[in-house]
Structure 1
Amino acid sequence: MPTTLVIGATGTVGSALVPDLLARGHTLRRATRQVREPGDVALDLLSGAGLDAALAGVDRVFLMAPPGHTGQDRFLVPVIDAAARHGVGKLVLMTAMGVDADPTSPLSLSEAYLRHSGVPAAIVRPNWFMQNFHTFWMGSIAATGEVQLPVGEAKASFIDARDIAAVAAVLLDRPQDEPEAFDLTGPEALDHATAAALISAATSKTIGFRDITPEAMRGALLQAGLPADYAEFLLVILGFLKQGYAERTTPHVAALLGRPARDFASYARDYAEAWRG
């Protein structure tokens, strides 16, 4: 049974990936900044502290950049180097759909570095998470009853983070290098007003959508405590969403899992209590 290190184990994708891998018989190491329970290993990607200890004896690695930071290659490249030193047999890197449009972007640079590292690899590029609606966008919903974003009527093929985790588990079970980077989407493209209506139907609460200006979004992000450079990064990628770049769908989730990707209505029903609270 492989020993697998999950970096970002307490995050949205990682917390879903851990039980998937346990069900597949993996021995788990959960990388966290603070060790809280057996199976946790201390790892700080920002400083690199604990990196070699976390990777010692590891067969497989799931890697993602720490959220809330730009210049992601600064944190990802040292992990890739360490994985090569320790002879890791498979590394699955999560970036984001669309990063390949700019080969100079930090995530695209990280993908290229991994490809030339000699470590057998797979890359998953998910679209916008469905789970954002009950996490990152929850503040405006709780305060105003609305999802408030500068995206107009643009559609996105939102993906359930549980499906991202399930795909990563499949790829971590395959020892070979994967020549294709997998763009992961949900089964349909929806605008945010439709998504809000589906949440309303699942919760019996009225939740709407309001298109706001980028300036208003910037103010909300800074007020929430996000670093200015990361707030600007979010505004850029929300701008890409508004231009339609997040609308396309791909078949990879269904092909890799042997079942359809979860749709937004199913997600809304599964997490209804989050909005009712």
Structure 2
Amino acid sequence: MEKILVIGGNGNIGFPLIKYLCATQKVEVVAGVHNLAKDLPKFDGLPNLEIEHFDFLDSSTFPKAFDGVSKVFFVRPPQLANPKVDMLPFLKYAQTQQIEQVVFVSLLGVEKNPRTPHHQIENMIEELNLPYTFIRPSFFMQNLNTTHCEDIVKNHDLFIPAGRSRTSFIDTRDIAEVAGIVLLNDKYLHQKLNITGPAALNYYEIAEVMTKVLGTKITYSKPSLLKFRKTMLQRGLPKNFVNVMVMLYLITQLGNAKTVTNETAKILGHAPRTITNYVKDYQDYFVQ
């Protein structure tokens, strides 16, 4: 049976991807996780699953995680913003293991943005001649219940420096399903898949949806990039992480995140989730 390594197996994409792959019972899955003690209970009851410690910054964790693996899926951890240091050793190791497919979650419009870590990682994968599939999603809906949750819960506000721009938000559960399909079908090798949600919305519209679903008034304060950066740094977020966020929201303000494609529905065979679907499913994160 084929074995697939899913790095970041406890994440918003990695965990639903593992559940998808395990449910097919067609493959064995290795969940590469950073904190074994914390994450082990999450995987209880899933069949054909191994769980291994994995750390991009610790090459000693590579051999056990890669043992017997033919395909690898990964997302760049947000705090790792220097690909030549953070990612290249891992990719070079993958090259030595005769991996048949590397599936990387990149970024919509990445080909126009050479300064983003995603662009650099794509280039490194191609330069190493690794057989790849690049999944290029738009912004994650789940950014709201992770990165931006504090402001929504405490201030009932979307403190996000996106101006009046529109974004074709996608649910990470749909990204996970796309990844599962891609990993199980060789026809997606050497493809760059631009996937989005079903509509491009601005944050005023997101606030309206959240207000309606949650029954609590949610506003959009539209901070400047500088104010956002200063606030995030004051909260103690890593400087590299904050700088990448600012860069991505600058790209958003320039209109590069508004594209809507039909690629998601085409791959899934059904329509992707809407922002209303997402807010209903995650409302417990926002109302505490």
Matched-pair contact (CA < 8 Å) for 2:7–2:75: yes
- 5+ residue gaps, structure 2, are 41-48
Q: How does 1:237-256 map to 2 (within 5 A)?
A: 237-256=248-267
User: Which residue does 2:210 correspond to in 1?
Assistant: 199
Q: Which moved more, 1:110-119 or 1:217-226?
A: 110-119
Alignment partner of 2:171 out of 138, 160, 169: 160
Q: Does 1:48 align with 2:49?
A: no
Shift of 1:104: 5.7
Q: How does 1:187-226 map to 2 (within 5 A)?
A: 187-226=198-237
- 5+ residue gaps, structure 1, are none
Alignment partner of 1:114 out of 104, 125, 131: 125
- Give, as a single letter, the amino acid of the residue that structure 2 aligns with 1:145: H
Matched-pair contact (CA < 8 Å) for 2:168–2:197: yes
Distance 1:216 1:127 in 2: 24
Identity of aligned residues (%): 26
- Cα deviation, 1:56-87, whole Å, max 9, x if unaligned, reads 21021101222222113433332222222222
Matched-pair contact (CA < 8 Å) for 1:122–1:180: yes
Alignment partner of 2:189 out of 166, 178, 181: 178
Runs of 4+ in 1 over 6 A off after TM superposition: none
- Give, as a single letter, the amino acid of the residue that structure 1 aligns with 2:16: A
In the superposition, relative to structure 1, how do residues 103 and 223 fare at CA in structure 2: closer, same or farther (>3 Å)? closer
The number of equivalent residue pairs is: 277
Matched-pair contact (CA < 8 Å) for 1:184–1:250: yes
Q: Does 1:17 align with 2:17?
A: yes
Cα RMSD after superposing both structures: 1.7
Q: How does 1:74-153 map to 2 (within 5 A)?
A: 74-103=85-114, 105-153=116-164
Shift of 1:185: 0.8
- Cα deviation, 1:121-177, whole Å, max 9, x if unaligned, reads 211111111011111111111221111122221110000000100000001102356
Distance 1:79 1:176 in 2: 25
- TM-score, length-normalised on structure 2? 0.90
Distance 2:115 2:162 in 1: 25
Distance 1:48 1:81 in 2: 11
* Structure 1 residue matching 2:94: 3-state secondary structure: helix
In the superposition, relative to structure 1, how do residues 135 and 103 fare at CA in structure 2: closer, same or farther (>3 Å)? closer
Matched-pair contact (CA < 8 Å) for 2:78–2:241: no
